[in-house]
A and B are shown apart, each in its own frame.
Chain A
Amino acid sequence: MEFFLQLLLNGIVVGSIYSLVGLGFVVIYKSTSVLNFAQGEFLVLGAYVCLTMMVKYQIPFVPAFLITLVFSAVLGILTERLILRPMIGEPVISLIMVTLGLSSLLKAIIQGIWGTELQPFPDIFPAQPVHLGPLPVAQGYIYSMAGVAVLLVIFTLFFKYTRSGVAMRATAFSQQVSLSMGISVKRIFALAWSIAAVVSAVGGVLLAGIRGGLDGAMAFFGLKVIPVVILGGLDSIAGAIVGGPIMGILENLAGGYLDPLVGGGAKEVAPFVVLVLILSVKPYGLFGKVKIERV
């Protein structure tokens, strides 16, 4: 039972970070119809920037974190401006491939600067575990879950009430209508990419903080978000928020109970098995807009 609860908890914590990174994924997909395969690299890059600020320049966590956020926002805007803007109107394959190319390029930059070895991440969370009933829970888990929850609430409110948020939703609904209503679609695209980069960086820092270490392999997280957003619905922010914990729990249970049977790796592959199942049963996910376009 305790094992089960532990798995459940791990799943929820990792799942909440999935939600956060998935949010970035969905925001980009909704407003620009691009599937961003470089999300994982955004995540790793953000975490490395934070690490460098803290270790090399000895900046305390909070300002270092803020610098990381600014860096990521700029990275997102630059990506949109330099790489995605020229691709407007190109076929889907070009859009997918350009993000794959970007992911290779960023991977190279990350490897070139920071190498491939696992680097210890400073303890940003107090080490002392908290006891939730019988269960010892690392404080990092609680902080990261709370952080994610706050961010998700902020983004939900942002999309619901602020001017920019409404403009983003309008753009997602129809770019032409938004343009004729005086919304700068270019600005919205840039905003979407910077939001995606920022949430990924937050996810990266939290993940590195929980794991206590950081290496380029963490970029895999970006690919694992794809099953999450497909489960929730590619164009649904609510879907990303709900899909994250579901997928997190699922993969942790698979890892906990199936790994001894199959000899490891079940945790990594389970989301993709689920992905194939979703695609054959309910391809638009839990909350995605159903477009009946069968062939």
Chain B
Amino acid sequence: MRCGDFRQSYAEDMALFDSPLPRVLLGLLLAVLLVLPQFATTYWLDVLNRIFIAIIAAAGLNVVTGYTGLISLGTAAFLAVGGFSTAALAGKAGLPFVVVIPLSGAITALVGLVFGIPSLRLKGLYLAVATLAAHYIVEFTVTHWDSMTGGVSGISVPAAQFAGLTLENDRKIYYLIFPLMVGLLFFTKNLFRTKVGKAFVAIRDQDISAEVMGVNVFRYKLLSFAVSSFLVGVAGSLLAYQARIISPENFPITLAIDYLGMIIIGGLGSILGSIYGAIFITLLPEMLRLATDALSNQYPALMSLLAPMKSGVFGLVVILFLIFEPDGMAARWHHVKAYWKLYPFSY
């Protein structure tokens, strides 16, 4: 039994896993997830895919909001940019997904920078306001650029294909989304063990101190925003490949708020938090639907309340988390673990 946290070298302090057990457990979890599609129903495959995509985007948002302390309301817009870039690159240009996905991410990062540059020069909530503007401008563009985006009626996206391989259903595309998610999460996790990631955190904690210590605040803020938009763009691209048809309606401002909710509920500045939050918020409507389906025999009126219930429960959960557990589920989980680790001698 461990009774404390002893670290004797920097290498130990930086290690991703502090003991062999989590490494084994994570390996097992990944193995289970790898074979899961063989047993899951189509419905749950769809849900799983959407959770994984949400995890990528939430991790992206967490890079800029959780780790660098800049608030972005543009997640939905950047998802849309990624998605519609994919529709154009894969549909019109017929490129394979190994090219399309990184390219969509890069396009999104560029669009993000256009809106980021003016506001990143200023402190406080200006990025939030600028990204809100970005949302409406992007929404307007995708709604009206008919030749490229199909306008309000949306556009269909061809199945992801590469070298004779076509990923036309949820079961197949799972094997694209899942490894990509794992890879990107490891990338993000490792980012915060490097100089760049530490600079982001330094800016969040005290920008003046960061500047004094030689961090070029503007450059790193911009970099953080670009990395974040890139990840969100990749998620948008996967979303397009998975849904196979996207329209501007898929990316309302409430989606951006949902993503902010994910990282608040999961935990700001925590990769694990992005995962918990994404799972929670993606499953919330599904669970509510299951619950109303079960209860609709007794209370038929419940069906019409489904949409408001989703938004109400979401709002309530966000408010309660902010008031009672501002560090999110990741911190709560940490507390629970710490409690049992030292039980019954918690002092």
Contacts and interface: CB of A to CB of B under 8 A. Distances in A.
Interface of A: 35, 83, 86-87, 90-94, 96-98, 100-112, 115-116, 223, 226-227, 230, 262-266, 268-269, 272-273, 275-276, 279-280, 283, 293-295
A109 B312 contact: yes
Contacts of B217: 295
B319 A283 contact: no
Interface residues of B, number: 56
Nearest to B123: A293
Nearest to B312: A108
Given A279-B119, A280-B118, A97 B132 contact: no
Tell me the dominant secondary structure on chain A's binding face.
helix
22 contacts: A91-B69, A94-B264, A97-B260, A97-B264, A97-B318, A100-B260, A101-B314, A101-B315, A101-B318, A101-B322, A103-B315, A104-B254, A104-B311, A108-B309, A116-B307, A226-B129, A230-B129, A262-B144, A269-B140, A275-B133, A293-B124, A295-B121
B129 A90 contact: no
Contacts of B134: 276
A295 B207 contact: yes
Contacts of A227: 133
Given A93-B71, A268-B140, A101 B261 contact: yes
B311 A268 contact: no
Nearest to B310: A108
Contact of A295 (B211, B315, B323, B326): B211
B125 A100 contact: no
A257 to B, nearest CB: 16
Across the A-B interface, give the 5 residue pairs with the lowest CB-CB distance, nearest first.
A108-B312, A104-B315, A105-B315, A101-B318, A280-B118
B115 interface: yes
Contacts of B144: 262-265
Nearest to B217: A295
A269 B135 CA distance: 10
Which one of A35, A100, A112 has the greatest number of beta carbons of chain B within 10 Å? A100
B132 A276 contact: no
B218 A104 contact: no
Contacts of B313: 108
A227 B126 CA distance: 11
B316 A105 contact: yes
Contacts of B326: 90, 94
B140 A92 contact: no
A227 B115 CA distance: 15
Nearest to B260: A97
Contacts of B342: none
B252 to A, nearest CB: 11
Given A92-B125, A268-B136, A272-B132, 13 more contacts: A90-B322, A93-B71, A97-B322, A98-B318, A100-B257, A106-B315, A108-B311, A112-B309, A263-B144, A265-B144, A279-B130, A293-B124, A295-B221
A90 B268 CA distance: 13
A116 B306 CA distance: 13
Tell me the dominant secondary structure on chain B's binding face.
helix
B128 A107 contact: no
Nearest to B120: A295
A96 B260 CA distance: 10
Contact of A276 (B115, B140, B261, B311): B115
B182 interface: no
Contacts of B310: 108
Contacts of A272: 132-133, 136-137
Interface string B296-336: 00000000110111111111111100110010000000000
B161 interface: no
Contacts of B314: 101, 104
Given A93-B71, A295-B221, A107 B308 contact: yes
Contacts of B118: 276, 279-280, 283
A275 B319 CA distance: 28
Contacts of A96: 71, 125, 128
B122 A283 contact: yes
B65 interface: yes
A101 B319 contact: yes
Given A91-B69, A101-B315, A263-B144, A86 B323 contact: yes
Contacts of A109: 308, 312
Given A262-B144, A272-B133, A295-B218, A108 B122 contact: no
